[in-house]
Amino acid sequence: MSQPDYKRLNKDDAVVLLVDHQTGLISLVQDFSPNEFKNNVLALGDLAKFFGLPTILTTSFEQGPNGPLVPELKEMFPEAPYIARPGQINAWDNEDFVKAIKATGRKQLIIAGVVTDVCVAFPTLSALAEGFEVFVVTDASGTFNETVQQAAWVRMTQAGAQMMNWFSVACELHRDWRNDIEGLGNLLSQRIPNYRNLMNSYAALSAR
């Protein structure tokens, strides 16, 4: 049985999809603590901006209990395409959402959302069926519990999606520390407190 090719992320061919990070839905997330989850979602936003990746925001049935998009993401991406879906549960069923993705001309989708088993899994499976490469950011996607989380990950993996965390997404996009040591290092240190120790150590050595 042949091994599949290593399909690595390419910052020139990737687009970030932030699906249904809404104030109501986020209250359902139990597989991460609230502070940890918020930090991970904003870290993904940080790296999207750092690498200049096209970013698309979407929400589902905002006027219902799902609630509006979390304000931090609106502030972070004021100019990004924002698709407020009137009712479609699977974002891929919304024509404007798919058009926004295809308008970028990019084939690698970096996706995160709430909840993992629905709002992430459904568009992931749909995009894979249309020939896109999909990279699911596991720690910026949340759901009811770890049992549901694992089942969703398995379902998407079996269909061909790659499971990654935001840190590995950042490193794979960056490729080589020499591209920008301090830029990526500072991004990481803002979201990973322990990483700040590395940057402080590096700064002290560099000052000698």
Enter the pTM of the model. 0.95
Whether residue 171 lies in the annotated active site: no
pLDDT in tens, 33-87: 999 999 999 999 999 999 999 999 999 999 999 999 999 999 999 999 999 999 9
The three state secondary structure string of the chain is: CCCCCCCCCCCCCEEEEEECCECCHHHHCCCCCHHHHHHHHHHHHHHHHHCCCCEEEEEECCCCCCCCECHHHHHHCCCCCEEEECCCCCHHHCHHHHHHHHHCCCCEEEEEEECHHHHHHHHHHHHHHCCCEEEEEHHHCECCCHHHHHHHHHHHHHHCCEEECHHHHHHHHHCCHHHCHHHHHHHHHHHCHHHHHHHHHHHHHHCC
Give me the catalytic one of 41, 47, 119, 164: 119
